[in-house]
Amino acid sequence: MFLEIITPDAKVFEGEVDAVKVPGSKGEFEVLNNHVAIVSALQKGIVRATDKQGKHTFKIDSGVIEVLKNKVVILVESASAQ
């Protein structure tokens, strides 16, 4: 699936990933390939993405996640690679 992490200033990450864990407003959840469509609020925390090269970790402020047809878009106020 394709992941984009976007802030108002820049696109922090884009690429193919196998899994994404995010800090949802009601608790952490994971998105895998062929996940059902969803829009959810995110709280401040850590996003973990796994791809063929390994793991990527990003510290984020609050925002939203949209999952639709194997495309994951994370819109946040700020994000930085860890």
- pTM assigned to the model: 0.94
Sorted by where each begins, the domain ranges of the chain are: 2-81
The pLDDT of residue 24: 95
* Residue 8 pLDDT class (50, 70, 90 cuts): very high
- Virtual CA dihedral for 39, 42, 28, 50, nearest 10 degrees? 80
The C-alpha atoms of residue 66 and residue 38 are separated, in whole angstroms, by: 6
Q: How far apart are CA 47 and CA 58, in angstroms?
A: 5
User: Class of 2-81 per CATH?
Assistant: mainly beta
Q: What confidence score (pLDDT) does residue 78 get?
A: 96
DSSP per residue over 35-53, as a string?
PPPEEEEE-SEEEEEEETT
Residue 69, phi-psi category: left (phi > 0), alpha (psi -120 to 50), beta (remainder): left
What average pLDDT score do residues 19-39 get?
96
Supply the pLDDT for residue 61.
94
pLDDT tens digits, one per residue of 30-73: 999 999 999 999 999 999 999 999 999 999 999 999 999 999 99
Q: What is the pLDDT of residue 80?
A: 94
Query: Which amino acid, residue 50?
Result: T
